[in-house]
Structures are given as structure tokens and as C-alpha cells.
Amino acid sequence: MIIGRILEEAGPYLDNVKIEDAVVGLSLIGIELDNRNIGVTYVLREGLRAGCSVFPYAQKMIGHEASEIAQWSRTGGDPLQRAIGMAVITAASRSLDLKDADTSVNPLSVAVRDTDTVGMIGYIAPIAAHFSDKAKEIIVFDKGISQCGGPHGIVMPMEQQANTLPKCDIVVMSGTTIMNGTFDSLLAMCGNARDIIVIGSSCPMYPRAFTGTNVTVLAGSWWDSDRKTDIFKIISLAGGIRHLADFSIKKTVRVSD
């Protein structure tokens, strides 16, 4: 599974590092490592238990080895614990030396043709708008919207993925597909895609982990450590990713063959 490869790549950047601080909001999770690197991931709240649920592990992670908490991305007992693990992994990626792809002509470093069918797994409005303006067709799947409501005129029923994704020329997959364990099966459906982009703050920026897959681009975010107080405050007040735009360092990286 891809999460095992990601953990292997992240390992050297987690050694002798501890969790310095954390915030778990309604929409996002923020993690600060003791080297000041920050990671932010999405809260898959539609998969959490209802009622006055308690998640005691979140109270105990401060001061723990980052390598231990990162393993939650694979072993976590619920979506929140796995998302915390992924936030640690994304924070550690800040220590990599990543060369940005050229996005001056094609945003996300992917050329879009007017004959293309684009599949999007995880609805991100600005990205959907970008592809809608250029491609023949865009087809969107989003589990949270399908379960909890949202722009149903845009989002297709989840059960149509197996029939639809093999027909797509470009596929954009949210990094949350790695957290919820659907990434590997979805990737297997996208064998005919010319480009596959993994995107969003939950995207783990470890291109070597995706070598040999048909993923071609990682488009994630790093975070300005000097604005940690602002980032964590916004997350604590149920802010979403667009509220953190001023503190984001966008990263778009090609995956080598």
C-alpha cells in the first residue's frame, strides 16, 4: 500500500524529532514538530463517531516521538487518528529539498486538452473551475458531500467511480484518499489516465514514494513556521483551508518515472 512507501520515505525526517504542539479543529488538524516544521491535514469528520465522542489519544501526543505518531496514518483506529498521523508526515516533508515544477504555462504542471475528460476525487472548487474551463468534461466524486450534502449538481454518486475513472484522461485525487485508505483501489481504476495529480494540504510531498505508480504530480502545501500562532488560531476556530491561504507555501512537484 502507498502509505507504507510514504512512511519509509518520511522516516529519515522523523528520526529524533518530537511533537511540539497540535491543534484539532472542526475542519483541519495542525501539527508542529520540535524543529518548527508545521503540517496541516483535513478532518474527515463524516467518518467520526456521533455524539459526545472522546478521542483521548489526541491529548497524549505532545512530546511523543514523531516517528511513532506518524505510524497512526497506517494503524489509526479512526479517521481522526489517521489524519493526525498524516499531519506529522506532511510536517516532516518541509525538510526535503524539492524542486518545484514549471507552472508558468500550465497550472499544476499538466497540459489540458479540449478533448480531455477529467475526474476529480475530492471537490476543490478552484481546481474544478480551472479544469472546467479547459477540458471537454469534468466529473467529480466527493464522499463527504455525497453523505452530508453539498453541490449535488456537480458531484456524482460514489458507486459510479469504477465505471467512470477508467475513461478519464486526467485524474485529480485529494490527499485525503490516502488517509481514508481508498487511494490504492482508486489508483487501480485510473490506468488509462495520462496524468494523475495528488493534491491538497493532506498530500504527502514525497515524490519518491510514488515512483513506479502512474501518479505524475504532487501538489501540496508547506507552511510558514513564523505564522504558527495565526495558523493554529484559525484552525481552532473551525477555519478551512482557504482561511490559511496567506500562510501557505504552494508546492508542485513532478514524480520521476
115 and 206 in a common domain: yes
Percent helix, percent strand, percent coil in the chain, to nearest 5: 40, 20, 35
Range of 22's domain?
2-98+225-245
Whether residues 203 and 231 fall in one domain: no
Q: What does the buried/exposed string (b/e) look like for 92-131 if buried means 16 or more CB atoms within 10 Å of the residue's CB? A: bbbebebeebeeeeeebbbebeeebbbbbbbbbeebbebb
Domains: count for the chain:
2
15 and 79 fall within a common domain: yes
Confidence (pLDDT) at 152: 45
Residue 111 and residue 215 in one domain = yes
What pLDDT does residue 146 have?
52
Q: How far apart are CA 136 and CA 64, in angstroms?
A: 49
| Amino acid at position 194, single letter | R
> Are 72 and 114 part of one and the same domain?
no
What are phi and psi for residue 32, nearest 5 degrees? -115, 130
* Long-range Cβ contact pairs of 110-115 (< 8 A, separation 24 or more): 110/170, 110/195, 110/197, 110/216, 110/217, 112/170, 113/169, 115/169
Residue-by-residue pLDDT tens, the chain, 257 positions: 999 999 999 999 999 999 999 999 999 999 999 999 999 999 988 878 777 767 888 888 999 999 999 999 999 999 999 999 999 999 999 999 999 999 999 989 999 999 999 999 988 888 888 898 899 999 999 876 654 444 445 688 888 899 999 999 999 999 999 999 999 999 999 999 999 999 999 999 999 999 999 999 999 999 999 999 999 999 999 999 999 999 999 999 999 86
Rounded to whole angstroms, the Cα distance separating 68 from 116 reads: 43
254 inside domain: no
Judge if 43 and 122 occupy the same domain: no
